[in-house]
Homo-oligomer: A and B are copies of this chain.
Amino acid sequence: MATIYDIAKKTGFSTTTVSKALNNYSDVSEKTKQKILQAVEEMGYLPNAHAQSLSTKKSWTIGVMFSESNEVGMKHPFFSAIIESFRKNAEREGYDLIFASRNLRNRDISYLEHFSYRAVDGIVVICSDPQDPQVQEMINSTIPIVVIDMNKQNCSLVFSDNIEGGKLAVNYLHSLGHTKIAHIAGDALTDAGAERIKGFKKAMNELNLPIHDGYLINGGLFSIGEGKAAMEKLLMLDDVPTAVFVAGDHMAIGAIEAIKEKGLSVPEDISIIGYDDIEMAAYITPKLTTIKQDTDMIGYQAAKLLMKQIIQKKKLITSKRIPVELIIRESCSQKK
C-alpha cells in the first residue's frame, strides 16, 4: 500500500503538506493541492485507519453490544431491525460498526475493555437486562453510549413507549367488547416487560375492568416456548379470558399455538394481540394484530443521540421515548 510518504516523494512536497492537502487545511495552495490529489489518484493511495486513529485519537467506529437472553444474537428480528436502522444512520456520518465479543484473543475480558482496546468512539447497546453488570460498567465509563430498550439508566436512552403500547392494546381489546382480558407479560425485570405491565394495569383500571386471579402471568424472556407455556396456564383457569395481550410477538405465536392445540381458535374463541410487529406477524395464521415498535425511528434516534455525544465530547443523560402504533390484522375479533 502506498503511504503518505510515497506520494510526498512523488510530488516533491513534504508529508506535512500532503497530509494537509488531504485534510483540507487552508495553508496549502490550490495548485499544490491539485498536484497532490492527482498523485493520490495515480498511486491509488488510501490512508491507513490505524495510523490515523493512533494520531488523532478518533477511530470512526462504534461498538455494538447485542445481548439478549435467548442466545440468538443477530438473528433476533426485532433487535437486528434496530441495528440495521442504526447502521444506516451511523454510516451516513462516516462510522463503521464493530461487533465485539468478550473474548480478546482468548483472554476473557469485559465488553468495556474490549471496546476500550478497539478505541471505539461510542457504544450502542441493545440489552433487555437492566442489571447486567457489563452494561453498567459501560454506562459508568467515559465512552459515549446509548442504550436501547431500557428506560431508567444514567445515560442516553432510547425506548418505545411501552406504557402507551400496553394501553393501546387493552383499549383496543375493550373496544371489541372484551372485558376478561389477560396479559402474558414479559419478565418484569426487563424494563420493557415492566412498562407493558404498567400500561396493561393502568388501562384496565381506567376502564374499570378487574384483573382476575391468574390473568397477569409472567411469560419470561419473550420466547415462543415461554409464551406457549404461559397460555397453557391461562387455558387451565376456571374462567378463561376471552382476550389476551401478549407482551411480544414471539410469545404471541406460542400462545396461539397453545390455543390451537387445545382445539380452540383465534380469534373466534380467544383474541390475541402481540407486541413488536416482527416480520412474521403479518404471515402467520391468523395474521397477528400487534403493537408495532418503530425500529427505524429507534435506530435513527439512537444514532442521533450517540453522534451528539461524540461531537460534544461529553456524555448526555437523555431519554427518547418512541411512539408505538396499533396494527390491526386478524387475531382479534369482536367478543361474541
Contacts and interface: CB of A to CB of B under 8 A. Distances in A.
A119 B48 CA distance: 7
Contacts of A46: 113, 116-117
Interface stretch (A9-17, A102-110, A124-132, A300-308): A102-110
A96 B46 CA distance: 22
A53 interface: yes
Interface stretch (A70-78, A172-180, A232-240): A70-78
A137 interface: no
Interface string A49-83: 11101100001110000000000111101001101
B97 A99 contact: yes
A51 B49 contact: no
B48 A117 contact: yes
Nearest to A59: B50
A103 B95 CA distance: 9
Interface stretch (A191-199, A214-222, A277-285): A277-285
**What 10 A-B pairs have minimum CB-CB distances, sorted nearest first?**
A285-B285, A91-B101, A94-B105, A73-B84, A50-B53, A50-B50, A280-B280, A97-B99, A50-B54, A98-B98
B96 A118 contact: yes
A2 B186 CA distance: 43
A88 B59 contact: no
A211 interface: no
Contacts of A259: none
Interface residues of A, number: 50
B75 A77 contact: yes
Interface of A: 1, 46-51, 53-54, 59-61, 72-75, 77, 80-81, 83-84, 87-88, 91-92, 94, 96-101, 103-106, 113-114, 116-119, 224, 253, 257, 279-280, 283-285
A114 B96 CA distance: 10
A117 B52 CA distance: 10
Contact of A119 (B49, B94, B113, B257): B49
Nearest to A256: B283
Contacts of A75: 77, 80-81, 84, 279
Given A94-B104, A283-B280, A284-B284, A73 B88 contact: yes
Contacts of A47: 117
A88 B66 CA distance: 13
